[in-house]
Amino acid sequence: MISGFAKLDRAYEAVEIFSEMRSSGIEPNEFSFVAILTACIRNLDLELGFQVHSLAIKTGYLDHTFVSNALMGLYITCGCLDFVLEVFDKMPQREIASWNTVLTGVVKESMNDRALGIELTDFTLTSVISACGLLMDVKISEQVHVVLKFSFRSNDCIKSALLDMYTKCGRMADAEEMFYQVPGNQNNGVMRTSMICGKQIHSLATKMGLISDIGVGNAAISMYYKCGNMENALKVFNMMSIRDIVAWNNLMAGYLLHLQGNEVLDLRSKMEKAGQQPDSLTFLWIIAAYRHSNANLLDNCRRLFLAMKTPYDIEPTSEHYAAFIGVLDYWELLEEAE
């Protein structure tokens, strides 16, 4: 009923029902909170919104994503960007609607004089910029950059996020211009890693000798295998003078994505010869690879699975069990899988 009245623009009646419900001893749930916050937005009732906010914290319902989203919607409507950011920063999980909401608030309120006294943390600014990249919204990305340029300080993390946003939004000219105009980029690993996110920049990184950098190389391998280009992913891997576990795992993930199990197993042998210790993710990729190999190597897979705890001291997770069961099922060992 609360939701129905709110949707019918009968917000005052929605508030009355909410009050009666609580007076009768019935505690609100997440849907009740969203409904009453909708009524607060219709009424522009910030005072009641504060009370609902406190109640949501007390009852634990503020941890529900859509309750937090509704609360941020109220604060944006009432021009309270500081409260929007407070809710956003404390959210345990965020979905696309959460990013959209806080983006709208930052862009809208930062253009107003009322927002000049608000302290935005580097974490929040970086998160907002990253959200633009995830949403690939060119228009919003332009607005956010203007706000940052004229209103806030900047540092390597923020500039790196801006570079990443540009490449994901297809603004490669802007990305390249920023890369060159910021002093020290050529020696800054964070900036170089962001720059490699665009395929158009890979040739530049190679020409400048940056591809041997671990962070840049790992980003390039990931980019290429996700684009289906394992040949270039392997080339980058081979060009890296130093390889960490992320590089090995990235290349394995690429081969597995393209169902090339034998290549994953070959890579495991090379990794052992190189003296690189596997981690939990490495075991997951290798176990899954036995399902896509040309020969029945089930005994090897079984030994590997049992070796996780001894000698590697890695506890198998549900993902490892699922991968191993998938291998058993593929070779029709249903009883063992069960």
Q: Give tens-digit pLDDT for 160-212.
A: 666 666 655 555 566 666 665 555 554 555 445 544 555 545 554 555 455 55
How many Cβ atoms from other residues are within 10 Å of residue 34's Cβ? 21
Position 249 scores a pLDDT of 93
pLDDT averaged over every residue in the chain: 74
Position 95 scores a pLDDT of 72
Position 192 scores a pLDDT of 52
Q: Which of 67, 85, 117 is the last residue of a domain?
A: 117
Residue range(s) defining the domain that contains residue 133: 120-193
Position 207 scores a pLDDT of 55
> Does pTM top 0.85 for this prediction?
no
Residues 75 and 137 in one domain: no
Residues 17 and 46 in one domain: yes
- The model's confidence at residue 289, banded by pLDDT at 50, 70 and 90, is very high
By percentage, how much of the chain surpasses pLDDT 90? 16
Half-sphere exposure of residue 73: CA atoms within 13 angstroms, side-chain side: 20
In a domain, 326, yes or no: no
Q: Which of 70, 86, 117 is the last residue of a domain?
A: 117
Position 217 scores a pLDDT of 80
Residues 44 and 95 in one domain: yes
Domain count, the chain: 2
238 versus 10: which is more confidently predicted? 238
Calculate the dihedral angle through the C-alpha atoms of 283, 284, 290, 292, rounding to the nearest 10 degrees: -140
